[in-house]
Amino acid sequence: MRIGAFICNNSEYFENFITRCTYHSNAIEGSTLSYADTYAIIFNDNSFKINAEPREIYDAINHKYALSYIINNLNIELSERLIKDIAIQINKNTNEIDGYRTSQVYIRGAEYIPPAPQQLNQMMMYFVYNYNHTFYDDIFKKTAEKHIEFERIHPFSDGNGRTGRLLINYEMLRNDFPPIVIPKERRTEYFSYIADADVEKMSQLFSELSNEEYQLMKKFGYDDTNNLSLESNKHSR
């Protein structure tokens, strides 16, 4: 069974994965929601009493639907339209956008300054073209390199981190690899790799986290008997 199908068909793992992915990705961006709060919001569990800002509630709901969107569109080649659709969903009801940013942005705590808005159309066109037409021997190197490139382009006025992390799992699941959940506890390490454009260390982080997810999936009943092992199938389109 392909991993995307396993996620959709195993309700216990589905809830676990969606909640973890949403909780940690939003926490990396500063959300104060607890794991339990996140679960209650995105799966409508009224047994929990939620005390949260409206923005954090929207962020949790938006991330759930954006993640579901990529899981349901793994058969589609990456395009600017797909990237924009993810970002639009991420920003729904909080910072409504309809495309790339139109003003200069700065990344807090980083020396690197993202490109000017007038450069974005061409840069994103090249980003998508190279994404789809460059062969990599190692999927973790591809996801690391492209994730760092995307975050440094910073094409949207908000939601770039969450959108970029969803694109990581678009690539992993599209190639039938266990997804990646970056823990909020590794936030500083993760941001330093983006700031330093350190593809090697980011690649190692992604490999480690994907393998951890693989072990967790097996606890939820995933059987990869008919699949190649992770180590023997690292290449990516």
236 domain-assigned: no
Calculate mean pLDDT across residues 190-195: 95
Q: What is the DSSP letter of 151?
A: H
For the domain that residue 146 is a member of, what is the CATH number? Answer: 1.10.3290.10
Q: pLDDT confidence of 228, banded at 50, 70, 90?
A: very low
- Give the tens place of pLDDT for each residue, 123-152: 999 999 999 999 999 999 999 999 999 999
pLDDT of residue 236: 60
Q: pLDDT confidence of 224, banded at 50, 70, 90?
A: confident
234 domain-assigned: no
Calculate mean pLDDT across residues 174-187: 97
pLDDT of residue 1: 82
Whole-angstrom Cα distance, residue 237 to residue 235? 7
230 domain-assigned: no
pLDDT of residue 229: 46
Q: pLDDT confidence of 46, banded at 50, 70, 90?
A: confident
231 domain-assigned: no
Q: Which residues of 141-156 are buried (b: 16+ CB within 10 A; e: fewer)?
A: bbbbbbbbbbbbbbbb
100 domain-assigned: yes
- Give the tens place of pLDDT for each residue, 56-104: 999 999 999 999 999 999 999 999 999 999 999 999 999 999 999 999 9
229 domain-assigned: no
Q: pLDDT confidence of 232, banded at 50, 70, 90?
A: very low
Count CB-CB contacts under 10 A for residue 54: 9
Q: Are 156 and 117 spatial neighbours (Cβ–Cβ below 8 Å)?
A: no
Total number of domains constituting the chain:
1
According to DSSP, the residues that pair with 236 across neighbouring strands are: 136
pLDDT of residue 59: 97
18 domain-assigned: yes
Whole-angstrom Cα distance, residue 209 to residue 102? 35
Q: Which domain holds residue 73?
A: 3-219
172 domain-assigned: yes
Calculate mean pLDDT across residues 9-21: 97
Q: Are 157 and 105 spatial neighbours (Cβ–Cβ below 8 Å)?
A: yes
Q: pLDDT confidence of 234, banded at 50, 70, 90?
A: low
